[in-house]
Amino acid sequence: MGLSKLNYLYRTLVLEHASHPHHQGKLLDATAQITLHNPTCGDTINLAVRIDDDKISDLKFTGSGCTISQASASMMGDVLIGKSVSDAQQLIQAFSNLVIGQKISAQAQEQLQDAAILGSVAQFPARIKCAALAWHAAQAILEEN
Amino acid sequence: MDIESIKQDFPILKQRVNDEPLTYLDSAATAQMPTPVLKAIEHYYQHDHANVHRGTHTLAQRATAAYETARQKTAAFINASQAEEIVFTRSTTESINWIAQGLSELIKPNDAIVVTIMEHHSNLVPWQQLAKRTGAELRLVGLNDRQELDLNDAARKIDSRTKVVAIAHVSNVLGVVNPILKIGAMAHQVGACLVVDGAQAAPHLPVDVQALDADFYAFSGHKMMAPTGIGVLYGKMAWLNRLCPSQFGGEMIDQVAQQTATFKPVPWRFEAGTPNISGAIALGAAIDYLSQFGMRAIAEHEQELAAYAIPKLLAIDGLTLYGPQDRHTGVLAFNLAGIHPHDAATALDLEGVAVRAGHHCAQPLMDYLGVNATLRASLYLYNDQKDVDRLIDAIKATKEFFENGFEQA
């Protein structure tokens, strides 16, 4: 049955993050924020980041979207908080490569923590944008700083 | 109608997708092409390919004749009073842009343009831009509690300042047929121009532009079994003669001097450059294909299928169907409680069921309905009850997966 393939995309971790997202809410002392839309589907993310001494000290998101986009934003917060801006940028690039099916280093794979599981989205091209939306938002914020 | 036999005319429907038989329920986005249309394109390129209206050789004459025959077929299909009222464009979107552009000089800052909240972006954004350029007011007619057009609101918003009323014949989300005659009467009573977006109507039900008294009517070939890149702009001759061309150059000219030019008569003055010749010819073939069944029979088939689908959809716990619940064209937009439409669409796709998920290029309507997106299953001539049954089964399996976790899927 075709639906059995869904297990591959919607693993327990993804469903868990989507139903109990980490880092969801408003960040009152944010130093930068951005709202991005996925124009093809109407999904929205508002990402707020606090950067102190070139380090991401906190990050929160609000918005609406599918399971993949919400899980991805949750996982991203786990990865990026505490990282320097340049390390964060490298991990965002690694994630972007991963979701389009490119190989990334074992070290990057490990650093992406739960988010590494979203590499399976490469098998579902129509959903890559869902997984990437939060990370694009973070990339845009870091480029501005 | 023998749908099983009709399905045989569509080679694309015979394939498997994700190891499952394909059930194509996204015809509101684009319809599939039957073999006679595919053959018409092949025949044109193999035997008649030449540029139109400029060659004196045999192929050029054949191509020109086929292109102009397609115009005549299109005129007959929507009962235009003459073939010259048909302008070939790229799409519904381009047709509406040309109308909005061409009406620019008629719109003044104190005027009003009336559209509806259910318009897809193609029949909203060009009017937003026209309003912005001219300083006119853009008014949106709302819905009643049945999610149909609110005629009382329309009567309030169409007033002596109104110069254009632009409305979809059939909503691409709500599936309703709008009361064009009533809206047209309101528009014409105040001297406004009636523009009808027929993208979801012309492929699915009989259209008679004279009976509708539409000043303009726009639709796309690809939603009615022709290829992408061919569209139709119908206009009453008096209105087309008032429109200034938006594009200038080869083919649309009469005489050109160093500093000045004169233009051909309507409709050729609007068709600058080499047109989509094979697209127009294929549109003619699609019209022939649809006409053998008759648009009334096609509309009845889709309504019967929608009537079969709606109770089955509504019986699914947590399913919200948009639009009036008792009568629908073949456009069925819905949501499943707690499951994002994109997640559901991926699941349905894995079952071989192709539906659309998203805002359907109708974001103001999504806002009005209080949702970000919906699923949309859209039916056509080549769908049958088995397709509906596969949709229903796939929705139930999807719900099971997302509600009870993947271990039980």
Q: What is the pLDDT of residues B283-319, one digit of tens each?
A: 999 999 999 999 999 999 999 999 999 999 999 999 9
Which of B346, B366, B405 comes nearest A127 by C-beta? B346
Percent of chain A with pLDDT over 70: 99
Alpha carbons B45 and B39: distance in angstroms, whole number:
10
Alpha carbons B31 and B22: distance in angstroms, whole number:
14
Q: Is B328 helix (H, G, I), strand (E, B) or coil?
A: coil
Q: In the predicted model, what is the mean pLDDT of residues A15-24?
A: 92
Chain A hits for B18, CB-CB cut-off 8 Å, are: 2, 5
Q: Does A122 touch chain B (CB under 8 A)?
A: no
* Distance in angstroms between the alpha carbons of the first and the last residue of chain B: 37
Q: Is the ipTM of this complex over 0.90?
A: no
What is the structure's pLDDT at B408? 43
What is the structure's pLDDT at B89? 97
Alpha carbons B31 and B382: distance in angstroms, whole number:
10
Q: How many CB atoms lie within 10 A of CB B292?
A: 8
Q: Distances from the Cα of A70 to the Cαs of A122, B334, B374, in angstroms?
A: 17, 21, 17
Contact of B89 with B137, CB cutoff 8 Å: no
Give residue-wise pLDDT tens across range B68-124. Answer: 999 999 999 999 999 999 999 999 999 999 999 999 989 999 999 999 999 999 999
Place of tokens 């309504």: B303
Alpha carbons A48 and B127: distance in angstroms, whole number:
35
Q: Does the pLDDT of residue A62 top 50, yes or no?
A: yes
Give residue-wise pLDDT tens across range A100-112. Answer: 999 999 999 999 9
The residues facing B336 across adjacent strands are: B319, B339
Q: Does A55 touch chain B (CB under 8 A)?
A: no
Residues of chain B with pLDDT under 70: 405-409
More confident residue, B395 or A39: B395
CB-count burial class (<10 Å; 0-12, 13-18, 19+) for B288:
middle
What is the structure's pLDDT at B406? 59
Chain B hits for A44, CB-CB cut-off 8 Å, are: 372
Q: Does the pLDDT of residue A116 top 90, yes or no?
A: yes
Place of tokens 């064009």: B180
CB contact under 8 A, A66 and B18: no
Place of tokens 């639906």: A3
Name the DSSP letter for residue B244.
P
Alpha carbons B30 and A89: distance in angstroms, whole number:
40
Is B361 among the residues known to form the active site? Answer: yes
Q: Does the pLDDT of residue A68 top 50, yes or no?
A: yes
CB contact under 8 A, B401 and A6: yes
Helices and strands, counts by H and E, chain A: 6, 3
For residue A42, name the pLDDT band (cuts at 50, 70, 90): confident
Q: Does A21 touch chain B (CB under 8 A)?
A: no
Q: Does A39 touch chain B (CB under 8 A)?
A: no
B173, B225, B361, B379: the catalytic one is B361
What is the structure's pLDDT at A145? 72
The residues facing A63 across adjacent strands are: A45
Chain A hits for B343, CB-CB cut-off 8 Å, are: 10, 66-68
Q: In the predicted model, what is the mean pLDDT of residues A80-94?
A: 96
pTM of this prediction exceeds 0.80: yes
For residue A1, name the pLDDT band (cuts at 50, 70, 90): low
Q: Does A38 touch chain B (CB under 8 A)?
A: no
Q: Does the pLDDT of residue A5 top 60, yes or no?
A: yes
- Residue B135 backbone dihedrals phi, psi, to 5 degrees: 85, 10
